[in-house]
Structure 1
Amino acid sequence: MQSSSELFPVALMSAELRGDLSEDIYRLKPGNSPDSTVELAVTRLGCHQCEMPRGIPVILLHGSFSNRRFWYSPKGLGLGPYLARAGFDVWIAEMRGHGLSPRNQAYRHNRVADYARYDLPAIAAFVREQSGQAPHWIGHSLGGITLAAALGGHYLDEADVASVALFGSQVSRVYWPLKLPPLEWGGRALLKRLSVISGSGLKRGPEDEPIGVALESLRWHGLFGRFGDAERDWWAGLAEVQAPVLAVAASEDHQDPPWACRKLLERFGSPRREFLCLGKKTGFADDYGHIEMLLSKPAQGEVWPLIEYWLRNAELPELKKGD
């Protein structure tokens, strides 16, 4: 089969009409990482019944224990279809071993560092090739952390990023037991006996996570840990990022609290930074949680339109409702 890209092998897995939406699913084989078996599924959504051509490209990155269905339900609901119907060129990426992306040979060793260094640049290059424009990026939870890592590590450059929106993403919440070396070592020893962490077993989502991601998080939060890998300090590198950044937190998100989400935003060097905390105290109709900030009826009515506004303007002077 002829490749859909001149960059690296890309197979068009399917091209379907789903109601008013067009759905094209690609499988990328970038061959840019030490594990040559890595393949990444990317779904492109458009609105074939809309009278407007495909517009600004937007890449959506799911969080842990998740897949493309976080953004796009089988019934054609979600932020992805909403943005496609608004005229955006929507791309939904699935990380290694999630959804339609097969598990690579070294799946258990996958880390955010691999996603950031190899996978996101390949996705960005393909989307730019197909759309002819720099894409906007939206990441939820671990998807936002991965995006921050790619930016802080300078694996994505200015031509790859029109703007960044991080939802419920942070790396500053302190887990004090992990600051005690014996407990960290013990936790690491226990985790190394596993291959994956079961999302269904923990009732966290439909997908598993490779144990490499969990071990990487232990290192970040250890006594002398940092947000980075052996080669680069991603936390320090964020100060050099100039792309417009929006950070959104939820008032009832106890996993990724608002103060920590704000702290990640403040590391960015961009002159255009906006912070939103979704809650009644800041003028919203509901006190949102970690998932509800994007997946709920209230979010559909008052959060999704704000995202659309951000993508069209990337400055948001009237979005700042408070902390």
Structure 2
Amino acid sequence: MQSSSELFPVALTSAEFCGDLSEDVYRLKPANSPDSSVELAVTRLGLAQHPVDAPRGVPVILLHGSFSNRRFWYSPRGIGLGAHLARLGFDVWIAEMRGHGLSQRNQGWKYNRVADYARYDLPAIGAFVAEQSGQVPHWVGHSLGGTTLAAALGGGYMGASLVASAALFGSQVSRTRWPLRIPPVEWLGRFLLKRLSAISGQRLKRGPEDEPIGIALESLRWQGLFGHFGVGKEDWWAGLKTVEVPILAAAGVADEQDPVGACRALFEQFASPVRRFVELGRVQGLSVDYGHVNMLVSKEAQQDVWPLVVGWLNECAEGFGIDAQSVA
């Protein structure tokens, strides 16, 4: 196989047009984790009429949340924030986590964790995009995608050489579920979960994909009585205090899954000199009170939230005009 990268084996598995957009799907095999079977699908969106040799725009990597895949960012009909950014000239890359969408399930899929995504997968994706685009990419993550990005930054697995800026939508790690802080309850939950291999997104009506049980067990550890946002002796939460890349965090005022207070707590932990927190609701002058999904996927979001993302990316790319502030 002729690789599309000098970093590790990469295959261009498809190159198609989706209306006015081009869609190139790459399969990355970084072989940088204990599970050598891991392969990651990364889709590059661009304009169909874009000359092959012409320079691309500012690179942006989009990370989906739990129970989801690349279709969160653009539909088969070419609708979504990813498609919108591509039409504006951004160089859009959409990553799919292990076993999601076009990414095949690895041998140890059942035991996949955010720790694996953050330590191994995101750095490989970031390095590949930086190699292909010739620029340090910006990142936008929704829900678990944003949490994984925070873990990669707090763990020191990625820094300014791979992250030009980070935007987190509906992402948090500190929402308190008090029963889980009672050790017998946590032990029982762990015992029951270990009997499963996956949690079905379709059965729970949360999304089209399954999540490996390793993600759920990891979440239990974070929320336990002596738990912390990290793995082993690594404290990602404390590590966020060393992060200096520009940070945007947004929370929907009607989001019951990842509420404003918890999202703000994660935001406040970053030490970035350039950072911004935005609540998404009517009080802030928006058309609706946004929930967990419609903050990025809805007709209202096209008018209210997408311009926020575009403005943030443009400001970061230009390197000026960003005020460090917190919007109540």
Q: Corresponding residue for 1:203?
A: 205
Provide the secondary structure at the position in 2 that maps to 1:288: coil
Does the C-alpha gap of structure 1 residues 316 and 252 become closer, same or farther in structure 2, counting only changes over 3 Å? farther
Equivalent position of 1:133 in the other structure: 135
How far off is 1:101 after superposition? 0.2
Distance 1:237 1:117 in 2: 14
In the other structure, the counterpart of 1:244 is 246
**In structure 2, do the counterparts of structure 1 residues 211 and 61 end up closer, same or farther at CA, with 3 Å as the change threshold?**
same
> Where do residues 156-195 of structure 1 align in structure 2 (5 Å cutoff)?
156-195=158-197
Cα deviation 1:181-203 (Å, max 9, x = unaligned):
00000000000000000001111
Looking at structure 1, the residues matched to 263 and 101 of structure 2 have their Cα atoms a distance apart, in angstroms, of 27
Structure 2 equivalent of residue 27 of structure 1: 27
Alpha-carbon separation, structure 2, partners of 1:273 and 1:319: 5
Which of 303, 315, 327 in structure 2 is aligned with 1:322?
A: 327
Distance 1:93 1:86 in 2: 20
Matches within 5 A, 1:94-133: 94-133=96-135
TM, length-normalised to structure 2: 0.96
Q: Distance in 1 between matches of 2:133 and 2:223?
A: 38
> What code does the residue aligned with 1:21 have?
L
Report what 1:255 is aligned to: 257
| Preserved CA contact (<8 Å) 1:200 1:207 | yes
SS of 1:158 mapped into structure 2: coil
Matched residue count: 323
Per-residue deviation at 1:305? 1.1
Give the direction of change, closer, same or farther, for the CA distance of 1:232–1:172 in structure 2 (3 Å limit): same
Tell whether 2:279 aligns with 1:274: no
2:232 & 2:29 partners in 1: Cα distance? 26
Instruction: Name 1:12's counterpart in structure 2.
Output: 12
Is it true that 1:312 corresponds to 2:314 in the alignment? yes
Which of 137, 151, 154 does residue 152 from structure 1 map onto? 154
Task: Classify the secondary structure of the residue corresponding to 1:123.
Answer: helix
Contact 1:276–1:320 (Cα < 8 Å) also in 2: no
- Work out the CA distance in 2 between the residues paired with 1:213 and 1:82: 31
The answer to whether the Cα contact below 8 Å between 1:283 and 1:321 also exists between their aligned partners in 2 is: no
Task: Write the deviation string for residues 127-183 of structure 1: whole angstroms up to 9, x where unpaired.
Answer: 011001000000000000000000000000211011000000001110000000000
Structure 1 residue 231, shift from structure 2 partner: 3.6
- 8 Å contact kept, 1:282–1:321: no
- Is the 1:310–1:316 contact (alpha carbons within 8 Å) kept by the matching residues of 2? no
Whether the 8 Å CA contact 1:96–1:102 is kept in 2: the answer is yes
Provide the C-alpha distance between the structure 2 equivalents of 1:242 and 1:191, rounded to a whole number of angstroms: 37
* Alpha-carbon contact 2:276-2:326 (below 8 Å) kept: no
CA distance in 1, matches of 2:149, 2:293: 18
What is the DSSP-based 3-state SS (H/G/I as helix, E as strand, rest coil) of the residue aligned with 1:159? coil
Tell me if the contact between 1:66 and 1:206 (Cα under 8 Å) persists in the aligned partners. Answer: yes
What does residue 84 of structure 2 align with? 82
CA contact (8 A) 1:53 1:87 kept: no
Q: How far apart are 1:321 and its partner, in Å?
A: 8.4
| 1:41 and 2:46 aligned | no
User: Aligned residue for 2:219?
Assistant: 217
Q: Which amino acid aligns with 1:294?
A: L
Amino acid at match of 2:110: R
1:98-127 deviation digits (Å, cap 9, x = unpaired) = 000000000000000000000000000100
Unaligned runs of 5+ in 2: none
Residues in 1 aligned to 2:204 and 2:248: alpha-carbon distance in whole angstroms: 30
Counterpart contact for 1:276–1:319, Cα < 8 Å: no
Query: 1: CA distance between counterparts of 2:15 and 2:315?
Result: 31
Which residue does the alignment assign to 1:71?
Answer: 73
Q: Shift in Å at residue 316 of structure 1? A: 6.5
Stretch moving more, 24-33 or 51-60: 51-60
Corresponding letter in the other structure for 2:46: G
Question: Structure 1 residues 10, 317: closer, same or farther in 2, change over 3 A?
Answer: closer
Q: 1:182 to 1:73 in 2, by over 3 A?
A: same
Q: Distance in 2 between matches of 1:70 and 1:245?
A: 22
Q: Give the aligned partner of residue 289 of structure 2.
A: 287
TM-score scaled to structure 1, two decimals? 0.97
Give the secondary-structure state (helix, strand or coil) at the position aligned to 1:172.
Answer: coil
SS of the aligned residue for 2:120 comes to helix
Contact 1:246 1:273 in 2 (8 A): yes
Q: Is the 8 A contact 2:244 2:271 kept in 1?
A: yes
Measured in 2, the distance between the counterparts of 1:321 and 1:220 equals 26
| CA distance in structure 2 between the aligned counterparts of 1:75 and 1:316, rounded to whole angstroms | 35
The SS at the match of 1:271 is coil
Q: SS of the residue aligned with 1:294?
A: coil
